Amino acid sequence: MIDCHVHIGQWSDRYYDYPQIFDTVLASQKVKIDGLVFSSTSSCILGVKYSEIEAEIGAIYSANDGKTEYSSDVVKPLLWYVPEYRKQGVSVETAMKSLPYCGIKIHPRAHDWDLNDSEKTDILHEIFDFASQNNVPLLIHSGYDEFEEAKKFEMFFKEYQDVKVILAHCRPIEQTVEMLFRYQNVYADSSFVDKKSLNILKENGFSGKNGKLFFGTDFPITHWYATEMFGRKINFEKEYEKDCASAEYCLEESWFF
């Protein structure tokens, strides 16, 4: 089982360093996790430079050279592409070659992917073109607001039907189900998905071994919400154990490994 939605980095007023996150996930007692896919929430810092993210993620592999537990065979990064990277002279292809990335992440809540902006749509075509030409999957954040909902990038799902897309969070669930039915290349993950929505996916045939739902947790963002937003006293291990409850609905495979 692979957790395809993990984070390190700066989130609000906290910095989540990789050893604590990786060790918690890989030592899970609830579900045996064989590997994880992560991206850095430091990508959300206003004005962040790609060189900063490159250094942050690159340090993981250079600091653990020869240590299999943190090798790119076990912990794989996603390129969280920020539109402003183009202005920094960093193309999708350049970034993808800089680290052992296994896919690309798009986050319309964290970054303004305005489809009426020709420069933004041009960057999106660059991302989907690269994914198509290099057989690279995309993880796309989805949410309840119009600018981030599951069908936001439907024109790209239709145009690039050879590109595998995972809709993170399945929001809204009705649109997610619609996209899963309509496009063979569109999948979803279980990160931060409530049980009612998981059951809807199950009822529609998208869960289980032959389904279209990948296991993801969004850890440690789940822990941040539990402790900072809701005031619960729960440690990392217990929160991750709780997050793993969705695993029973999910595929036991991953494109990332």
Q: Which domains can be identified in the chain, with CATH numbers?
A: 2-249 (3.20.20.140)
pLDDT tens for residues 37-82?
A: 999 999 999 999 999 999 999 999 988 766 667 889 999 999 999 9
pLDDT tens for residues 77-101?
A: 999 999 999 999 999 999 999 999 9
Quick count: other Cβ atoms within 10 Å of Cβ 133? Answer: 11
Identify which of 152, 217, 216, 213 has the alpha carbon closest to the alpha carbon of residue 186.
213
What is the structure's pLDDT at 203? 96
CA dist list (Å): 49 to 111, 126, 197? 14, 19, 36
What is the structure's pLDDT at 68? 66
**Is residue 177 very low, low, confident or very high in pLDDT (cuts 50, 70, 90)?**
very high
pLDDT at 174 over 90: yes
What is the structure's pLDDT at 66? 63
| C-alpha to C-alpha distance for 70 and 105, rounded to whole angstroms | 21
Calculate the average pLDDT of the chain: 95
Say if residues 177 and 149 touch (Cβ distance below 8 Å): no
Phi, psi of 246 (to 5 degrees): -75, -10
pLDDT tens for residues 180-210?
A: 999 999 999 999 999 999 999 999 999 998 8
